[in-house]
């Protein structure tokens, strides 16, 4: 009861903020709303004496919603950003509007950041960093400071102010000869070679008390999702509790910077030999749960197109590189940066893309990668029956549905986009059509693929920013073809067979337990059957309810496989 009351109060506060910005009962959707719900509209717009008049926002429902969520604070900003990745839940148009939700908040005092760093790293900031700036960027979960690490101990012993002997003598000789240009060059050389400076780094620090605030708001989200699932059956297909659980897992990962450092390290290993893309180095000695220290990226922000053009960078090449890098990470590695917008990309002096902020990462397994590649290749070849076959073989579409009808629906999506430049293509409209198809054919939503699709839209936006006439299909085709070709090589087939053998060994090792659990469940059922039928209480099989119906089939198949192998 207390949980219901406390969550109701928190959600009522959020509802009022949404109502004040006309995002709770949007004018555009009122005709579709129940009349009983509309009776609450005046309550949502009441302004208390201490509240400011809400800013009048022109624009779509999504734009007004973004403003309201930003006003509600860190948890709701993250909720909005997460919902932007779930067009299957809120609709493609609303999701597209929420992608513009800016995760920016006022910074907290640098002294508070220093306290957190000292607590987590066990040393005061002055012993860890030679310099430490005020916050240069602040978001809902953390803020970033520019710092320089302390010089290495051996260089400090040598004296930071001393000029190396092999450089000092030529400088003195040049002074005596009056060769000012030589002196200047040698002075610069001395500065560059003197090993008495630390490294420039970016230090990310978790906001104080942000974990407790998120815990309260996430509990409210769970309670709302559970209530919706219980009383509104049409929403069950979208699995709102699972949606909130995914958000909670994402936030938990984002609030432990050791995990973000691990993600950077994994992507660095994956992309070590890639051309045109890299990630910063991690300073593990200055990284802990609430503190992350990485290499300072010296480059031009991807958002500053004019500066990139002035610096002489090839904008068409950058557009191609961002698309191909993303697809390579997704297909080859199954691990990709899921928040690769312009603000998280820099271009260094060599034209290499450098990604930052690895708080949100996506991961897809080999099966999903094959599915993705087959779909992309199907669209590239305009082979819609092939795409339909992939969906049915993967079990994403129930076999009771018509393959021909599904292929026809896919054709209605694919043909209008064929041959068009990215500037002519509306990804929002494309995703809207895709999710309409999933609803028509009873496809279950797959969060990892939806996150991939959302990220692809964002990455395409970056490509359009670099090169408005960029064609995504031309950039995607070589990456997809190369991956599919690699999958067909004998070496890869052997790797798959070896992996399958290892997995089979694990299943065989667990076979006795599988059989025992299945037998226990069957015996329990048999003991509770009489002439009247099954007399088991709904709760009596609770401990066995997790047993998949296919356990006996798996066991039977394994036994048959062993029999063939033996005889």
- Phi-psi region at 301: left, alpha or beta (left = phi > 0; alpha = psi -120 to 50): beta
What mean pLDDT is reported for the chain?
76
| Cα 21 to the center of its chain, rounded Å | 28
- Residue 514 — very low, low, confident or very high, per pLDDT cuts 50/70/90? low
Smallest CA-to-CA distance from 97 within 342, 428, 426 is with 428
| Cβ–Cβ under 8 Å, residues 394 and 370 | no
Q: Say yes or no to pLDDT of 187 above 50.
A: no
Average pLDDT of the residues in 36-43: 57
| % of the chain exceeding 70 in pLDDT | 65
State the pLDDT at residue 479: 86
| Cβ–Cβ under 8 Å, residues 465 and 458 | no
Average pLDDT of the residues in 395-419: 84
Q: Which of the residue ranges 47-51, 120-124, 197-201 would you say has the lowest mean pLDDT?
A: 47-51
C-alpha–C-alpha distance, residues 136 and 185, integer Å? 33
State the pLDDT at residue 149: 95
Structural element, H or E, at residue 180: helix 180-193
Q: Say yes or no to pLDDT of 527 above 70.
A: no
Q: Which residues pair with 335 in a beta bridge?
A: 363
Structure tokens at 394: 């993967």
| Cβ–Cβ under 8 Å, residues 480 and 377 | yes
- Residue 485 — very low, low, confident or very high, per pLDDT cuts 50/70/90? confident
- Phi-psi region at 73: left, alpha or beta (left = phi > 0; alpha = psi -120 to 50): left
The domain limits of the chain are: 2-104, 299-488, 498-566
Choose the most confident range, by mean pLDDT, from 332-341, 414-423, 435-444. 332-341
Whether the full predicted model's pTM is greater than 0.75, yes or no, is no
Alpha carbons within 13 angstroms on the beta-carbon side of residue 256 total 9
Q: Say yes or no to pLDDT of 567 above 60.
A: no
| Positions marked catalytic | 339
Q: Which of the residue ranges 40-49, 73-82, 431-440 would you say has the lowest mean pLDDT?
A: 40-49
Alpha carbons within 13 angstroms on the beta-carbon side of residue 403 total 13
C-alpha–C-alpha distance, residues 229 and 225, integer Å? 6
| Cβ–Cβ under 8 Å, residues 287 and 261 | yes
Which tops the pLDDT comparison, 203 or 506? 203
Which tops the pLDDT comparison, 335 or 471? 335
Structural element, H or E, at residue 51: none
């Amino acid at each position: 009861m207390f949980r219901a009351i406390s969550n109701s109060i928190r959600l009522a506060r959020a509802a009022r903020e949404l109502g004040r910005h006309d995002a709770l009962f949007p004018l555009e959707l009122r005709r579709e709303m129940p009349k009983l719900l509309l009776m609450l509209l005046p309550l949502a717009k009441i302004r208390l004496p201490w509240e400011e008049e809400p800013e009048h926002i022109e624009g779509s429902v999504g734009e007004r919603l973004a403003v309201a969520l930003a006003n509600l604070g860190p948890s709701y900003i993250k909720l909005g950003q997460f919902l932007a990745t779930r067009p299957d839940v809120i609709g493609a148009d609303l999701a597209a509007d929420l992608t513009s939700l800016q995760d920016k908040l006022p910074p907290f005092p640098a002294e508070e950041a220093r306290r957190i760093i000292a607590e987590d790293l066990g040393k005061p900031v002055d012993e860890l960093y030679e310099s430490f700036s005020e916050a240069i960027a602040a978001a809902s979960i953390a803020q970033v400071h520019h710092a320089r690490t302390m010089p290495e101990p051996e260089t400090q012993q040598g004296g930071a102010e001393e000029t190396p002997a092999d450089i000092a003598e030529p400088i003195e000789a040049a002074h005596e000869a009056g060769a000012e240009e030589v002196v200047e060059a040698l002075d610069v050389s001395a500065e560059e070679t003197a090993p008495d400076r630390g490294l420039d780094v970016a230090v990310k620090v978790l906001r104080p008390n942000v974990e407790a605030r998120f815990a309260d708001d996430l509990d409210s989200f769970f309670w709302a999702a559970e209530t919706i699932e219980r009383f509104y059956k049409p929403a069950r297909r979208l699995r709102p509790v699972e949606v909130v659980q995914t958000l909670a897992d994402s936030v938990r990962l984002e609030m432990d910077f050791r995990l973000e450092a691990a993600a950077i390290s994994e992507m660095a290993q994956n992309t070590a030999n890639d051309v045109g893309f890299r990630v910063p180095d991690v300073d593990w000695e200055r990284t802990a749960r609430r503190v992350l220290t990485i290499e300072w990226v010296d480059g031009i922000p991807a958002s500053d197109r004019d500066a990139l053009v002035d610096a002489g960078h090839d904008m068409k090449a950058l557009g191609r590189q961002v698309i191909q890098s993303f697809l390579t990470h997704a297909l080859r590695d199954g691990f990709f940066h899921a928040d690769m917008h312009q603000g998280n990309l820099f271009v260094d002096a060599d034209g290499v893309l450098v990604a930052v902020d690895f708080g949100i990462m996506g991961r897809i397994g080999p099966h999903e990668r094959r599915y993705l590649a087959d779909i992309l290749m199907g669209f590239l070849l305009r082979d819609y029956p092939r795409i339909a076959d992939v969906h049915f073989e993967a079990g994403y579409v129930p076999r009771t549905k018509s393959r021909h009808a599904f292929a026809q629906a896919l054709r209605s999506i694919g043909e209008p986009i064929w041959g068009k430049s990215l500037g002519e293509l509306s990804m929002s409209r494309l995703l809207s059509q895709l999710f309409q198809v999933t609803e028509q054919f009873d496809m279950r939503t797959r969060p990892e693929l939806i996150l991939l699709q959302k990220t692809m839209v964002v990455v395409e936006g970056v490509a359009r920013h670099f090169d408005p006439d960029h064609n995504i299909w031309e950039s995607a085709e070589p990456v997809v073809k190369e991956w599919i070709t690699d999958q067909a090589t004998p070496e890869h087939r052997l790797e798959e067979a070896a992996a399958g053998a290892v997995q089979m060994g694990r299943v065989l090792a667990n076979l006795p337990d599988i059989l025992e659990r299945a037998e226990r469940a069957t015996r329990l059922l048999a003991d509770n059957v009489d002439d009247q039928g099954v007399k088991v209480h709904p709760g009596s099989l609770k401990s066995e309810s997790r047993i998949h119906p296919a356990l006996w089939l798996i066991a039977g198949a394994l036994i048959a496989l062993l029999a063939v192998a033996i005889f």
